Amino acid sequence: MSALGLDLGGTSVRAAVLDPVSGAILASAKEQHADRSPEAVVAACVRVAQAAVAAAGCALPGSAAIGVAGQCAGHSGLVVNAPNLGWRMVPLAERLGRALGLRVRVLNDLSAAAIGEHRFGAARGVEDAVLFFAGSGVGAGLLVGGRLAEGGAGFAGEVGHVKVIPRPTTPERRCGCGQLGCLEAYTGGHALTARAREALAAGRMQGLAAAVGGDAALVIPSRIEQAAAAGDADAASLWEEAGELLGDAAANLVTVLNPARLVLGGGVLLGCPLLFARVEARLRDRASASAGQSLAVVRAALGDDAGVVGAALAGAGG
Amino acid sequence: MSALGLDLGGTSVRAAVLDPVSGAILASAKEQHADRSPEAVVAACVRVAQAAVAAAGCALPGSAAIGVAGQCAGHSGLVVNAPNLGWRMVPLAERLGRALGLRVRVLNDLSAAAIGEHRFGAARGVEDAVLFFAGSGVGAGLLVGGRLAEGGAGFAGEVGHVKVIPRPTTPERRCGCGQLGCLEAYTGGHALTARAREALAAGRMQGLAAAVGGDAALVIPSRIEQAAAAGDADAASLWEEAGELLGDAAANLVTVLNPARLVLGGGVLLGCPLLFARVEARLRDRASASAGQSLAVVRAALGDDAGVVGAALAGAGG
């Protein structure tokens, strides 16, 4: 019996039909969404789901799940806040379930990825694992005692919103969630890019400025990484701070949850080896000695597939 | 069938025989231990266990558990590090099991308390709860999806050792665990007392100095609280910092784990209402909006009984 999973991000949605025994993706379909209204996105979800099912040559299963880049109230099927989609309080499970004619479970994209990496990827074979991802945002997926930890209302794992800066700063760096001091507002890919652009506008990060020919629009985290590696002291200093903040947050997750394995991933971490190394060194230094001793730190293994694979497993009751 | 639980702290050990259905303590016994060597403490454990069982008029059960104020590797029965006892790598489950002639499980004291509060106390009726305790040390007990979260090796919940200070300070405040930047080294009862004594020695905290008649040995956290409440600006400033650090750490646990209930306890928090109020206000302000919205913040209900009650339940396989 094949399973259907969807992965919904800020710019695209992907559906995949999975063989839940082997982990093989039998077929998948992907669509960009220029219109991010719930109506347009639900319609896109329906199209990719039907396309994937048709390509796999199977019947639509009775249930499915969708991982969403945002805060999801699992039990109610509500997307509470998805800044990249501009959504607040969207009853996605209900709308998508009605449109597809099946039962739909909604969960955070990193929770879906955690299920995928646990069954078929980098977290295989352990009962306790933490996925720590830094991409455009920062988040975690938590496996505790062999099961996904969802929390009382489905919001567990929102490590991008742990507070790492004790008092207001200038500029204040208000997070997409509305609060001050969030990890993601200082170290997410969007935040790092914005901070580098501010530095360029203030006449700093000369090495980065030269590398992008003075065009701030070309700044992305991997260019900051290159500038830091090439000796731009301002870029190196931003990387040092980001490494400390991300490393401490990952260390604190390890200290509190004592996972056997920490899975690092996300576009920023995997695309910036220097930052990755700083984060790993920092977290090894700062996790409690007892929890750090038996910890394996590994890279995510399923790449962009983790979300749809995990969602398919979650949708099939896994 | 009654159950046997023990609670081992830095200065005393207590055993209780529990009716695991009603939660009633049928009998208990307690002993101070001046000699903290493992041999002497194990002998004291045996005496209080036998005294409690004799007083309850029941037979020694086939298994028991002991909660220990320290880092415990649950699966191996090892106390890895218990600073208040001066212990490192003590195979307590094996030694106590042999001495009592029964199977013994070792777990952290707050994990035991979490089990007790979950079954009969302030965390009753919810699947996801976090105990956050500040006493002489700082620690947590985690209930995730209805079960105690122990982590891969039994060290989960060591929130006293999350890093809250990013860079070395003067004085450096090295933690009992050996690391720098730990929450407990700035906000545990021992740390708060030491910091107030430093302030007295430096001629600050005049209000506190007057209250204790200049005798630094009389400083305890509740005296610092009184001085802060009476207008000692230095004491108020220490309380403000402690409230921020403890509040942020509790908020971050809430953000990451999304418990339905946060149970605050421990001698320092429960004995210092002003600090308690600061911690609660700070954590409500700093937890993610989604996880904070449905959160109930409550006080621990079982008091000193939580540890023995939870240990008895854990020992009986609960």
Statement to judge: residues B10 and B23 lie in one domain: yes
Residues of A in contact with B253 (CB under 8 A): 256
pLDDT value at B115 more than 70: yes
Cβ distance A294 to B259 less than 8 Å, yes or no, reads no
Distance CA B69, CA A317 (A): 39
Q: For residue B291, what is the nearest residue in chain A, using CA coordinates?
A: A155
Q: To 10 degrees, the CA torsion angle through B56, B60, B62, B63?
A: 60
**b vs e for B218-248, b when ≥16 Cβ sit within 10 Å of the residue's Cβ?**
ebbbebbbbbbeeebebbbebbebbbbbbbb
Q: In the 8-state DSSP scheme, what is residue A159?
A: G
Query: Within this chain, do residues B56 and B199 fall inside the same structural domain, yes or no?
Result: no
Residue B318 has pLDDT above 70, yes or no: no
A166 and A259 together in one domain? yes
Q: Report which of A178, A180, A174, A123 is spatially closest to residue A147, judged by C-alpha positions.
A: A123
pLDDT of residue B65: 98
Q: For residues A137 and A69, is the Cβ–Cβ distance under 8 A?
A: yes
Q: Is the pLDDT of residue B283 over 70?
A: yes
Q: Please count the structural domains in chain B.
A: 2
- Residue A91 is predicted with a pLDDT of 98
Residue of B nearest to A242 (CA): B166
DSSP code for A223: H
The neighbour count for residue A240, using CB atoms within 10 Å, is 14
Q: Does residue B99 share a domain with residue B17?
A: yes
pLDDT at A1 over 90: no
Task: Give the distance from residue A295's alpha carbon to the nearest chain B alpha carbon, in angstroms.
Answer: 9
- At residue A318 the predicted structure's pLDDT band, cuts being 50, 70 and 90, is low
Closest-CA residue of A relative to B260 is A152
Confidence of residue B22 (pLDDT cuts 50, 70, 90): very high
Do A112 and A133 share a domain, yes or no? Answer: no
Q: Which residues make Cβ contacts (< 8 Å) with residue A6, sequence separation at least 6?
A: A13, A14, A15, A16, A45, A48, A49, A64, A65, A66, A67, A308, A311
Sign of the dihedral defined by the CA atoms of residues B120, B126, B129, B132, in that order = negative
Same domain, A130 and A49: no
Q: What is the pLDDT of residues A135-189, one digit of tens each?
A: 999 999 999 999 999 999 999 999 999 999 999 999 999 998 899 999 999 999 9
Inter-chain contact A152–B81, Cβ cutoff 8 Å?
A: no
Is there a single domain that holds both residue B205 and residue B128?
yes
Range scoring the smallest mean pLDDT among B74-83, B88-97, B158-167: B74-83
Q: Which of A10 and A43 is assigned the larger pLDDT?
A: A43
Give A245's contacts in chain B (Cβ within 8 Å).
166
- Residues A6, A15: contact at Cβ < 8 Å? yes
**What local confidence, expressed as pLDDT, does residue B84 receive?**
86
Pairing of the two strands A3-8 and A63-68:
parallel
Element (H, E) at A277: helix A273-286
Instruction: Determine the pLDDT at residue A75.
Output: 80
Give per-residue pLDDT as tens, A19-39: 999 999 999 999 999 999 999
Residues B129 and B111 in one domain: no
Residues of B in contact with A177 (CB under 8 A): 288-290
CATH of the domain at B207: 3.30.420.40
Query: By residue range, what is the domain housing residue A289?
Result: 125-299
Pair A156, A294 in one domain: yes
Chain B positions touching A242 (Cβ under 8 A) are: none
Checking if the pLDDT of A291 tops 90, the result is: yes
Domain co-membership, B259 together with B199? yes
Q: Is A296 helix (H, G, I), strand (E, B) or coil?
A: strand
Task: Give the closest-approach CA distance of B187 to chain A in angstroms.
Answer: 15
pLDDT in tens, B225-237: 999 999 999 999 9
Which comes out higher in pLDDT, residue A160 or B75?
A160
User: Residue A233 pLDDT more than 70?
Assistant: yes
**What digits encode the pLDDT tens for the residues B144-181?**
999 999 999 999 999 999 999 999 999 999 998 899 99
For residue B117, what are the CA distances in angstroms to A3, A135, B71? Answer: 40, 39, 20
B60, B138: one domain: no
- Position A210 scores a pLDDT of 96
CA distance B161 to chain A (A): 6
Mean pLDDT along residues A78-101: 95
Chain B neighbors of A150, CB-CB under 8 A: 145, 258
- Chosen for mutation from A258, A261, A294 (greatest number of chain B CBs closer than 10 Å) is A258
Cross-chain residue pair B286–A81, CB shorter than 8 Å: no
The alpha-carbon gap from B86 to the nearest alpha carbon of chain A, in Å, equals 16
What CA–CA distance (Å, rounded) separates B293 from B12? 40
Average pLDDT of the residues in B28-45? 97
Q: What secondary structure, in 3-state letters, does chain B show?
A: CCEEEEEECCCEEEEEEECCCCCCEEEEEEEECCCCCHHHHHHHHHHHHHHHHHHHCCCCCCEEEEEECCEEEHHHCEEEEECCCCEEEECHHHHHHHHHCCEEEEEEHHHHHHHHHHHHCCCCCCCCEEEEEECCCEEEEEEECCEECCCCCCCCCCHHHCECCCCCCCCCCCCCCCCCCEHHHHHCHHHHHHHHHHHHHCCCCHHHHHHCCCCHHHCCHHHHHHHHHCCCHHHHHHHHHHHHHHHHHHHHHHHHHCCCEEEEECHHHHHCHHHHHHHHHHHHHHCCHHHHHCCEEEECCCCCHHHHHHHHHHHCCC
Determine what percent of chain A falls in helix, strand and coil, rounding each to the nearest 5. Answer: 45, 20, 35
- pTM (two decimals): 0.96
User: 3-class DSSP state for residue A22?
Assistant: coil
Confidence at residue A247, expressed as pLDDT on a 0 to 100 scale: 98
Residue A84 — pLDDT band, cuts 50, 70, 90? confident
Are A137 and A223 in a shared domain? yes
Per-residue buried b or exposed e for B54-79, using 16+ beta carbons within 10 Å of the residue's own CB: eebebeebebbbbbbbbbbbbeebbb
From chain B, the residues in CB contact with A258 under 8 A are: 150-156, 158
- What mean pLDDT is reported for chain B? 96
pLDDT of res. A7? 97
